[in-house]
Amino acid sequence: MEEIQPFFEKYYLLPYAFAFLIGCVSGLAELASRYKDHPVRMLSYFSSNIYLLINGFCSVLALWFISEFDINIGSVGETEPGRIILAGLSSMLILRSSFASIKQGDKSIDAGFAAISQVFLNSADRSFDQKRSYKNLQKVSKIVKDIDFDKAQKSLPTLCLTLMKNTSIEEQRVIGKEVANLNKLDIDNFTKSILLGIIISEITDTELLKEAVDTLYDSIKLTDEQIERISNYKVSLKKIEDLKKKFKD
Protein backbone atom coordinates (compact mmCIF):
# COMPACT_ATOMS: atom_id res chain seq x y z
CA MET A 1 0.00 0.00 0.00
CA GLU A 2 2.81 2.39 0.88
CA GLU A 3 4.25 1.93 -2.62
CA ILE A 4 1.01 3.11 -4.18
CA GLN A 5 0.80 6.25 -2.03
CA PRO A 6 3.46 8.31 -3.92
CA PHE A 7 1.82 7.32 -7.19
CA PHE A 8 -1.47 8.89 -6.10
CA GLU A 9 0.37 11.96 -4.83
CA LYS A 10 2.00 12.39 -8.24
CA TYR A 11 -1.22 12.00 -10.16
CA TYR A 12 -3.46 13.80 -7.67
CA LEU A 13 -6.56 13.65 -9.91
CA LEU A 14 -6.34 9.90 -10.33
CA PRO A 15 -8.06 9.07 -6.97
CA TYR A 16 -11.01 11.19 -8.08
CA ALA A 17 -11.15 9.36 -11.40
CA PHE A 18 -11.18 6.01 -9.59
CA ALA A 19 -13.84 7.18 -7.13
CA PHE A 20 -15.88 8.46 -10.06
CA LEU A 21 -15.57 5.06 -11.79
CA ILE A 22 -16.55 3.13 -8.65
CA GLY A 23 -19.56 5.43 -8.19
CA CYS A 24 -20.60 4.83 -11.82
CA VAL A 25 -20.14 1.06 -11.45
CA SER A 26 -22.27 0.97 -8.28
CA GLY A 27 -24.99 2.89 -10.13
CA LEU A 28 -24.58 0.53 -13.07
CA ALA A 29 -25.04 -2.48 -10.77
CA GLU A 30 -28.28 -0.98 -9.50
CA LEU A 31 -29.58 -0.31 -13.01
CA ALA A 32 -28.53 -3.79 -14.13
CA SER A 33 -30.50 -5.35 -11.28
CA ARG A 34 -33.51 -3.18 -12.16
CA TYR A 35 -33.46 -4.11 -15.84
CA LYS A 36 -32.08 -7.59 -15.58
CA ASP A 37 -33.61 -8.85 -18.83
CA HIS A 38 -31.79 -6.19 -20.92
CA PRO A 39 -28.92 -4.82 -18.81
CA VAL A 40 -27.01 -3.40 -21.79
CA ARG A 41 -29.94 -1.63 -23.43
CA MET A 42 -30.44 0.73 -20.48
CA LEU A 43 -27.13 2.45 -21.33
CA SER A 44 -28.77 3.89 -24.43
CA TYR A 45 -31.16 5.98 -22.31
CA PHE A 46 -30.27 9.55 -21.48
CA SER A 47 -31.72 9.39 -17.96
CA SER A 48 -29.77 6.20 -17.16
CA ASN A 49 -26.51 7.87 -18.17
CA ILE A 50 -27.34 10.96 -16.13
CA TYR A 51 -28.03 8.69 -13.16
CA LEU A 52 -24.64 7.03 -13.59
CA LEU A 53 -22.91 10.42 -13.84
CA ILE A 54 -24.65 11.63 -10.67
CA ASN A 55 -23.43 8.49 -8.88
CA GLY A 56 -19.91 9.19 -10.12
CA PHE A 57 -19.97 12.87 -9.07
CA CYS A 58 -21.34 11.98 -5.63
CA SER A 59 -18.38 9.67 -5.15
CA VAL A 60 -15.96 12.42 -6.24
CA LEU A 61 -17.64 14.82 -3.83
CA ALA A 62 -17.41 12.26 -1.02
CA LEU A 63 -13.69 11.77 -1.67
CA TRP A 64 -13.12 15.53 -1.73
CA PHE A 65 -14.90 15.88 1.64
CA ILE A 66 -12.91 13.03 3.16
CA SER A 67 -9.59 14.45 1.92
CA GLU A 68 -10.27 18.18 2.39
CA PHE A 69 -11.74 18.01 5.89
CA ASP A 70 -9.64 15.07 6.95
CA ILE A 71 -12.70 13.13 8.04
CA ASN A 72 -11.93 10.21 10.30
CA ILE A 73 -13.25 7.06 8.66
CA GLY A 74 -11.27 4.60 10.71
CA SER A 75 -8.48 2.39 9.52
CA VAL A 76 -9.92 2.30 5.98
CA GLY A 77 -9.09 5.98 5.60
CA GLU A 78 -5.42 5.54 6.38
CA THR A 79 -4.59 4.57 2.78
CA GLU A 80 -5.56 6.26 -0.47
CA PRO A 81 -7.13 3.10 -2.04
CA GLY A 82 -9.27 2.65 1.10
CA ARG A 83 -10.52 6.24 0.88
CA ILE A 84 -11.21 5.85 -2.84
CA ILE A 85 -13.24 2.66 -2.41
CA LEU A 86 -15.20 4.07 0.51
CA ALA A 87 -15.91 7.34 -1.32
CA GLY A 88 -16.83 5.42 -4.46
CA LEU A 89 -19.34 3.26 -2.66
CA SER A 90 -20.69 6.15 -0.58
CA SER A 91 -22.55 7.47 -3.63
CA MET A 92 -25.02 4.65 -3.04
CA LEU A 93 -25.55 5.92 0.51
CA ILE A 94 -25.78 9.61 -0.45
CA LEU A 95 -28.21 9.06 -3.30
CA ARG A 96 -30.53 7.04 -1.13
CA SER A 97 -30.54 9.46 1.79
CA SER A 98 -33.44 11.64 2.80
CA PHE A 99 -33.58 14.04 5.72
CA ALA A 100 -37.35 14.43 5.89
CA SER A 101 -40.50 12.75 4.74
CA ILE A 102 -43.24 15.10 3.51
CA LYS A 103 -46.79 13.83 3.58
CA GLN A 104 -48.89 14.84 0.58
CA GLY A 105 -52.33 13.25 0.69
CA ASP A 106 -51.86 9.51 0.99
CA LYS A 107 -48.31 9.65 -0.38
CA SER A 108 -45.16 10.40 1.56
CA ILE A 109 -42.40 12.09 -0.42
CA ASP A 110 -38.77 11.85 0.64
CA ALA A 111 -36.92 15.15 0.81
CA GLY A 112 -33.24 14.73 0.02
CA PHE A 113 -30.95 13.19 -2.53
CA ALA A 114 -33.17 10.09 -2.71
CA ALA A 115 -35.93 12.18 -4.30
CA ILE A 116 -33.53 13.56 -6.95
CA SER A 117 -32.15 10.15 -7.87
CA GLN A 118 -35.70 8.77 -7.97
CA VAL A 119 -36.62 11.30 -10.66
CA PHE A 120 -33.90 9.94 -12.94
CA LEU A 121 -34.68 6.34 -12.03
CA ASN A 122 -38.37 6.88 -12.80
CA SER A 123 -37.51 8.49 -16.10
CA ALA A 124 -35.16 5.60 -16.95
CA ASP A 125 -37.92 3.18 -15.94
CA ARG A 126 -40.36 4.82 -18.31
CA SER A 127 -37.92 4.96 -21.26
CA PHE A 128 -36.90 1.40 -20.64
CA ASP A 129 -40.46 0.17 -20.31
CA GLN A 130 -41.57 1.92 -23.50
CA LYS A 131 -38.73 0.60 -25.65
CA ARG A 132 -38.65 -2.82 -24.05
CA SER A 133 -42.41 -3.27 -24.36
CA TYR A 134 -42.41 -2.32 -28.02
CA LYS A 135 -39.45 -4.53 -28.94
CA ASN A 136 -40.56 -7.42 -26.75
CA LEU A 137 -44.07 -7.39 -28.13
CA GLN A 138 -42.76 -7.52 -31.69
CA LYS A 139 -40.37 -10.38 -30.93
CA VAL A 140 -42.64 -12.37 -28.62
CA SER A 141 -45.68 -12.21 -30.91
CA LYS A 142 -43.55 -13.61 -33.74
CA ILE A 143 -42.17 -16.41 -31.55
CA VAL A 144 -45.51 -17.56 -30.11
CA LYS A 145 -47.80 -16.93 -33.09
CA ASP A 146 -48.50 -20.64 -33.72
CA ILE A 147 -48.45 -21.73 -30.07
CA ASP A 148 -51.44 -23.15 -28.23
CA PHE A 149 -51.53 -21.56 -24.78
CA ASP A 150 -53.34 -24.53 -23.25
CA LYS A 151 -50.54 -26.88 -24.31
CA ALA A 152 -47.67 -24.49 -23.56
CA GLN A 153 -48.74 -22.94 -20.25
CA LYS A 154 -46.88 -25.49 -18.11
CA SER A 155 -44.26 -27.06 -20.38
CA LEU A 156 -42.81 -23.80 -21.77
CA PRO A 157 -42.19 -22.02 -18.44
CA THR A 158 -40.96 -25.28 -16.89
CA LEU A 159 -38.37 -25.75 -19.62
CA CYS A 160 -37.23 -22.11 -19.46
CA LEU A 161 -37.00 -22.09 -15.66
CA THR A 162 -35.05 -25.35 -15.69
CA LEU A 163 -32.55 -23.80 -18.08
CA MET A 164 -32.23 -20.65 -15.96
CA LYS A 165 -29.84 -21.38 -13.13
CA ASN A 166 -30.37 -18.31 -10.95
CA THR A 167 -34.12 -17.93 -10.70
CA SER A 168 -35.20 -17.89 -7.07
CA ILE A 169 -38.08 -20.00 -5.78
CA GLU A 170 -39.98 -16.78 -5.07
CA GLU A 171 -39.56 -15.54 -8.67
CA GLN A 172 -40.79 -18.92 -9.93
CA ARG A 173 -43.82 -18.72 -7.64
CA VAL A 174 -44.68 -15.29 -9.03
CA ILE A 175 -44.44 -16.63 -12.59
CA GLY A 176 -46.54 -19.67 -11.65
CA LYS A 177 -49.25 -17.43 -10.19
CA GLU A 178 -49.21 -15.13 -13.21
CA VAL A 179 -49.55 -18.06 -15.62
CA ALA A 180 -52.37 -19.59 -13.54
CA ASN A 181 -54.18 -16.23 -13.52
CA LEU A 182 -53.65 -15.92 -17.25
CA ASN A 183 -55.16 -19.36 -17.76
CA LYS A 184 -58.37 -18.20 -16.05
CA LEU A 185 -58.74 -14.98 -18.02
CA ASP A 186 -61.53 -14.73 -20.57
CA ILE A 187 -59.31 -13.71 -23.44
CA ASP A 188 -58.40 -15.42 -26.68
CA ASN A 189 -55.72 -18.08 -27.01
CA PHE A 190 -53.36 -15.92 -29.11
CA THR A 191 -53.35 -13.07 -26.58
CA LYS A 192 -52.76 -15.57 -23.79
CA SER A 193 -49.81 -17.04 -25.70
CA ILE A 194 -48.30 -13.56 -26.18
CA LEU A 195 -48.74 -12.75 -22.49
CA LEU A 196 -47.19 -16.10 -21.55
CA GLY A 197 -44.23 -15.26 -23.81
CA ILE A 198 -43.85 -11.82 -22.20
CA ILE A 199 -43.97 -13.27 -18.68
CA ILE A 200 -41.25 -15.80 -19.56
CA SER A 201 -39.09 -13.37 -21.54
CA GLU A 202 -38.91 -11.02 -18.54
CA ILE A 203 -36.92 -13.71 -16.74
CA THR A 204 -35.12 -15.41 -19.63
CA ASP A 205 -34.95 -13.16 -22.68
CA THR A 206 -36.47 -13.53 -26.09
CA GLU A 207 -33.54 -15.60 -27.41
CA LEU A 208 -34.00 -18.37 -24.86
CA LEU A 209 -37.77 -18.17 -25.25
CA LYS A 210 -37.36 -18.74 -29.00
CA GLU A 211 -35.04 -21.70 -28.43
CA ALA A 212 -37.49 -23.22 -25.94
CA VAL A 213 -40.45 -22.71 -28.29
CA ASP A 214 -38.47 -24.27 -31.17
CA THR A 215 -37.57 -27.25 -28.98
CA LEU A 216 -41.15 -27.85 -27.82
CA TYR A 217 -42.76 -26.75 -31.08
CA ASP A 218 -44.25 -30.12 -32.11
CA SER A 219 -45.97 -30.62 -28.77
CA ILE A 220 -47.23 -27.05 -28.21
CA LYS A 221 -48.13 -25.83 -31.70
CA LEU A 222 -51.70 -25.13 -32.79
CA THR A 223 -53.31 -27.79 -34.95
CA ASP A 224 -54.55 -26.92 -38.46
CA GLU A 225 -58.15 -27.07 -37.22
CA GLN A 226 -57.33 -24.65 -34.41
CA ILE A 227 -55.69 -22.23 -36.85
CA GLU A 228 -58.76 -22.37 -39.10
CA ARG A 229 -61.06 -21.92 -36.11
CA ILE A 230 -59.08 -18.90 -34.93
CA SER A 231 -59.24 -17.31 -38.34
CA ASN A 232 -63.03 -17.89 -38.47
CA TYR A 233 -63.30 -16.53 -34.96
CA LYS A 234 -61.53 -13.33 -36.00
CA VAL A 235 -64.07 -12.84 -38.80
CA SER A 236 -66.89 -13.51 -36.32
CA LEU A 237 -65.42 -11.04 -33.84
CA LYS A 238 -65.65 -8.24 -36.40
CA LYS A 239 -69.31 -9.06 -37.06
CA ILE A 240 -70.03 -9.33 -33.31
CA GLU A 241 -68.45 -5.94 -32.74
CA ASP A 242 -70.65 -4.33 -35.42
CA LEU A 243 -73.79 -6.03 -34.11
CA LYS A 244 -73.04 -5.00 -30.53
CA LYS A 245 -73.18 -1.35 -31.60
CA LYS A 246 -76.67 -1.90 -32.97
CA PHE A 247 -77.93 -3.70 -29.87
CA LYS A 248 -76.29 -1.54 -27.25
CA ASP A 249 -79.11 0.99 -26.76
Partner 1 sequence: MKKKESSFIGFFDGYKAGNIAFSEPSLKVYKNNLINQIKNLINIIQATNEPDKILIFEKLIKSLEKNNNENIYQYILIIEAIKLFIDTNDPEIFKTNDQLLQSIKKIIYDLLNVSEKIEDSELSSLVIEIAESFNEIIF
Residues found near partner 1 in the complex (CB under 8 A): 154, 157-158, 161-162, 165-181, 183-189, 229-230, 232-233, 236-237, 239-241, 243-244, 246-248
Please state the closest distance from residue 192 (CB atom) to partner 1, in A. 10
10/244 with CB nearer partner 1: 244
131/154 with CB nearer partner 1: 154
Q: Maximum Cα–Cα distance for the chain, whole Å?
A: 87
Please state the closest distance from residue 197 (CB atom) to partner 1, in A. 16
Spatial distance between the Cα atoms of 238 and 244, rounded to a whole number of angstroms: 10
68/249 with CB nearer partner 1: 249
Please state the closest distance from residue 232 (CB atom) to partner 1, in A. 5
69/247 with CB nearer partner 1: 247
Using a 10 angstrom Cβ sphere, with 0-12 exposed, 13-18 middle and 19 or more buried, the burial of residue 143 is buried
Please state the closest distance from residue 237 (CB atom) to partner 1, in A. 6
- Indicate the angle between helix axes 113-143 and 206-220, nearest 10 degrees: 30
Q: Check if the beta carbon of residue 230 is closer than 8 Å to that of residue 190.
A: yes
Among the listed residues 98, 87, 93, the one whose alpha carbon sits nearest the alpha carbon of residue 62:
87
Please state the closest distance from residue 28 (CB atom) to partner 1, in A. 18
111/240 with CB nearer partner 1: 240
Geometric angle at alpha carbon 9, from 8 and 10, rounded to 5°: 90
State whether the Cα torsion 160-156-170-28 is positive or negative: positive
Please state the closest distance from residue 130 (CB atom) to partner 1, in A. 27
Spatial distance between the Cα atoms of 196 and 191, rounded to a whole number of angstroms: 9
Spatial distance between the Cα atoms of 156 and 209, rounded to a whole number of angstroms: 8
145/229 with CB nearer partner 1: 229
